[in-house]
Amino acid sequence: MRRLRARVDLPAGLGTEMVWIPAGAPAELDLRLESVIEGVLVSGTVNAPLQGECARCLEPLSDTAAVELRELFYYADRATDVGDDEDARVLVDDHADIEPVVRDALVLTLPLSPLCRPDCAGLCVDCGARLDEVGDHTHERADPRWAALSTLVDEEPSGRDPAGRGRGQFPGSDV
Ligand SMILES: [Zn+2]
Ligand SMILES: [Zn+2]
């Protein structure tokens, strides 16, 4: 068994709009290479820095992606064993091309909704302030649905007996 510890530069553009690996950021590999009958088994961990945007409050965030890796590289003369498996990796000149494996593993591990912290409160729907900074708060402005309703009430001809209003005349205002 061989131990492989290395820092490798990752290609630019890995990630999504929400979370990505910064261009030129190195990944730390800590891998074991084991000779098996079919080829070489590569396993271990990969760590890489992440940058992104919190899905709730849109603040920039940085994190570390940590991935467990386990991949069998087949000897070229064993490659026929894998048949139609297009994902099967094959040693080329006894060389395992680890980069695509690392890349795929990292991309698969990226969070779909990265958060600046697990319980980020997000943004105020009214003013857009970050609730983690300004705290929970309310705005005087009335809910627009109720505002529309009060306009209806105001436009009601004066002098009419309120008791004569039938239920359901004001949708949602049955009180
Ligand atoms: Zn956040
Ligand atoms: Zn607000």
* 158 occurs within a structural domain: no
* 63 occurs within a structural domain: yes
Distance 159 CA to ligand 2 centre (A): 40
128-170 confidence digits (pLDDT tens): 999 999 998 988 766 666 666 666 666 555 555 555 444 545 5
Percent of the chain with pLDDT over 90: 48
- The DSSP secondary-structure symbol of 170 reads S
Give the ligand with the smallest distance to the CA of 18. Answer: 1
* 19 occurs within a structural domain: yes
Which residues partner with 27 through β-bridges? 8
3-state secondary structure of 163: helix
Distance, first Cα to last Cα, the chain: 77
Within 8 A by CB and 6+ apart from 110, the residues are 15, 16, 19, 20, 50, 65
Instruction: Give the number of other Cβ atoms within 10 Å of residue 14's Cβ.
Output: 20
* 23 occurs within a structural domain: yes
Distance 21 CA to ligand 1 centre (A): 19
Q: Indicate the number of domains in the chain.
A: 1
Q: Is the dihedral of CA 129, 135, 140, 144 positive or negative?
A: positive
Distance 23 CA to ligand 2 centre (A): 36
* 17 occurs within a structural domain: yes
Which pLDDT score, from 0 to 100, does residue 153 have? 60
For 83-103, what is the mean pLDDT? 84
For 92-105, what is the mean pLDDT? 88
Distance 124 CA to ligand 1 centre (A): 12
* 175 occurs within a structural domain: no
Q: Which residue range forms the structural domain that includes residue 55?
A: 2-109
* 50 occurs within a structural domain: yes
Instruction: Give the number of other Cβ atoms within 10 Å of residue 97's Cβ.
Output: 12
What Cα–Cα distance (Å) separates residue 58 from each residue in 28, 30, 115?
Answer: 28, 33, 9
pTM of the model: 0.67
* 144 occurs within a structural domain: no
